[in-house]
C-alpha cells in the first residue's frame, strides 16, 4: 500500500514539476513576435475598414484615415482628408432597390517599424431588381498605413487603379 502511495505521489510530483516546462514551451511556440502582432493589427484595422464600407458609414471609414491622407485614383486629382470625407458621404447615400457590397482580397501585408503596406484587390458589386442589373468594379490598391502615437494604425496613402474595363451595368446572367 505504501509503495502504491509513493508511486502515486512521485508521479504527481513529476507532473507538477513537468507542467511549467510543458506550458512555457507551448507559450513560446504560440507567442507572436512584435512584427507578427503588428501585421495582425494592420489586418484587423483593414478588416474593420471593409466592414465600415459595407455599412456605408462614411464617418466610420474616416476613422481609419490619417488626417494627412492622400488617395490617388486613375484620372482623378489626389484626394485629401476632406475630399475623401465628402466623396464617401455622397457615395454612401441610400439607393432604394440597390444592394451594394464591397469585398477585399488582401494579398500581402508587410510592416517595418511604424509603417506598413497592404496590397489588396477591392471588388464593388451593385445589384438592382426590376429590371435585374448588376455592376461589378474591381481595382488594385496599394495602401500605406502608419502607426500613430496611440498605437492605432491608420491609412496615410493609397494608390488605386482599375483592373478590368470600366464598369458597366449589365443584365444579370440569370435574368430573362
56-115 tens-digit pLDDT: 999 999 999 999 999 999 899 999 999 999 999 999 999 999 999 999 999 999 999 999
131-141 tens-digit pLDDT: 889 999 999 99
Matching residue, cell 474593420: 48
The CA distance from 143 to 157, in Å, is 6
Q: Are residues 45 and 25 in the same domain?
A: no
pLDDT of residue 164: 72
Q: Are residues 62 and 11 in the same domain?
A: no
Does the residue 176 lie in any domain?
no
The CA distance from 46 to 29, in Å, is 26
Q: Are residues 7 and 87 in the same domain?
A: no
Q: CATH number of the domain at 128, please.
A: 3.10.450.50
Mean pLDDT score of the chain: 85
Task: For residue 126, give its domain range.
Answer: 33-171
How many structural domains comprise the chain? Answer: 2
Q: Is the distance from CB of 42 to CB of 153 less than 8 angstroms?
A: yes
Q: Is the distance from CB of 39 to CB of 109 less than 8 angstroms?
A: yes
Residues belonging to the chain: 176
pTM exceeds 0.85, yes or no? no
Phi-psi region of 117 (alpha: psi -120 to 50; beta: other; left: phi over 0): beta
Q: Is the distance from CB of 66 to CB of 156 less than 8 angstroms?
A: yes
16 has pLDDT over 70: no
Q: Are residues 27 and 39 in the same domain?
A: no
Amino acid at each position: 500500500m505504501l509503495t502504491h502511495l509513493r508511486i502515486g505521489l512521485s508521479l504527481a510530483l513529476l507532473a507538477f514539476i513537468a507542467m511549467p516546462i510543458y506550458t512555457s514551451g507551448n507559450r513560446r511556440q504560440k507567442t507572436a513576435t512584435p512584427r507578427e502582432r503588428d501585421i495582425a493589427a494592420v489586418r484587423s484595422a483593414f478588416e474593420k475598414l471593409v466592414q465600415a464600407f459595407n455599412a456605408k458609414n462614411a464617418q466610420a471609414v474616416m476613422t481609419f484615415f490619417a488626417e494627412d491622407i492622400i488617395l490617388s485614383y486613375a484620372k482623378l486629382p489626389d484626394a485629401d482628408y476632406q475630399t475623401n470625407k465628402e466623396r464617401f458621404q455622397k457615395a454612401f447615400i441610400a439607393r432604394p432597390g440597390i444592394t451594394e457590397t464591397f469585398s477585399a482580397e488582401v494579398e500581402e501585408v508587410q510592416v517595418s517599424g511604424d509603417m506598413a503596406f497592404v496590397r489588396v484587390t477591392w471588388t464593388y458589386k451593385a445589384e438592382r431588381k426590376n429590371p435585374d442589373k448588376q455592376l461589378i468594379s474591381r481595382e488594385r490598391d496599394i495602401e500605406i498605413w502608419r502607426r500613430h502615437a496611440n498605437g492605432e494604425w491608420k491609412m496615410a496613402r493609397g494608390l488605386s487603379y482599375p483592373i478590368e474595363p470600366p464598369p458597366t451595368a449589365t443584365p444579370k446572367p440569370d435574368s430573362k
